[in-house]
Chains A and B, each alone.
Chain A
Amino acid sequence: MIEVVNLTKTFKKVNAVDQVNFYIEPGEIVGLLGPNGAGKSTTIAMLSTLVPPTSGDVLLQQQSVLKNPASLRKVLGVVPQEIALYEELTARENLLFFGNLYKMQKDQLKNRVDTVLQQIGLQHESKKIVKHYSGGMKRRLNIGVAMLHEPDYLIMDEPTVGIDPQSRNHILETVKKLNTESNKAIIYTSHYMEEVEYLCNRIYIMDKGRIIASGTKDEIKAILSSENTILVKLEKHSNDFLSELMSQPLLSNINAKEAEISFTVAKGINYLPTLLTLCEMHHVTLKSYEVKEPTLEDIFLHLTGRALRN
């Protein structure tokens, strides 16, 4: 098990990461969810022993690894957010180069490279120079490099940023397979809540350097168990109607995107009749009224008052 205890990183008197605690056990996928600038990447950098924390500790099997990170580095694979590859080399050459850094035997390395190429679906493109790859292929190779030395734990820092939906699905499936078939423990950071929701057993939500909520998906969603999220669609946007909703004491977390408005209301209250009255008052046509299950997006909005992808 890897544990992070009171991890703090201060840059010029600003706490980028503030007293963060979490753990990951073998075989589980843990999500670290938060908007850009929440401190996820700094947390990951400290966890992977690239950046020393200002205070706090990182433990592997109860032993601190900050002074002697070699033991952690052996069992840890890191997939950085950036494409950390030599673009002038082929996929195979990249894998051989990075595999060599782990001092693997020649035959063992060759076998691993073939296996990894298969796992990431690039076995037929392995002799192509990386700069000619699509964004999705580069992302897959980026993940493949971190898997070469067969680590027990994989840290993936926003591995689907900037790629097309097809490649994104491929990567999500690869991550899922790594977990189910190879029993890899994965720390998956993202600001796409649907990815975290799809992949992760447990979730930590970060904002402004702190963990503001944590638990299994159900536990986190229970934060909003006393409220319902309502999504209404109007025929057209109306400022007067929106102002009227804002002044309603029973509603909270009101969020408007043109003619779509979402808000939360306490469970057990049927707000539809009131809403119809308000529509009539402001001459607004209601097109739809939907009571939604709370999403992680709603939880984040509830906890911070801001949308996740601001």
Chain B
Amino acid sequence: MAGDGRQKVEMPAATVSPFVLALGIVLIFAGPVLSWAMTATGIVLLIVGISGWVGQLTSPEGQIEEPVVAGPKPIEGIAGRVEALRPGMPGYRARLPEKMHPYSAGLKGGLVGGVLMPIPALIFGLIAYRSIWFPVNLLAGVVLPQLVDETLSATEQVAYLSAFHPGLFIGAVLIHAVISASLGLMYGVMLPTLPGRPIIWGGIVLPLLWTGFSYGFMGVLNPILHDHVDWPSFVVAQFVFGITAAIVVARTEQIPA
């Protein structure tokens, strides 16, 4: 920063007025405990301080010309010493994928997983209730909490849930497709960013996470499912989805990000 050749810089002059004013204030405040004479003195000092202050503002004495002294050393460029962090350099932090799957891969993985996933659930329905509609109706309960008339007895509820209901069927398929596709999309985006093998993350870690989450929150999200769900087949279904989706995604061609 080179100087522009000036000799002096105009600055406000030193003045005792602020101190006098502060002293006045503190004496005014000391009045209640010490003596009202203090307050009187304080008011006098206050007036003196303010007058001096106004004087500084209204007369040229309030300003002084500070002589310019030797300035700082000029700042030199440090050429050639900057290096951007790149992948592979020690300490490089971001693990952004250099290549990623196309979004269609995630969608495809999700839908394939979604097709395979119901198999364990349907088998469970067949074995336990002799009806493949049982798990379908349960799934629809995500958006229809009042699915079953709760005044019915347990066996009547089961009978209702085992029958085919076109509305519930469409609802269940829609829910299933949306959830599967969204999870698949997430797989497509996330898996390349995670270190290690995608199949471990997609097939084991992530299903474990959301199964645990479902276990904890099922009672809130879908009380009907919570009451009737068969956990072993439910868990198996989740893993079927996770593994299938992960495999499909991982096998897709990667494109540069």
Chains A and B belong together in one complex:
no
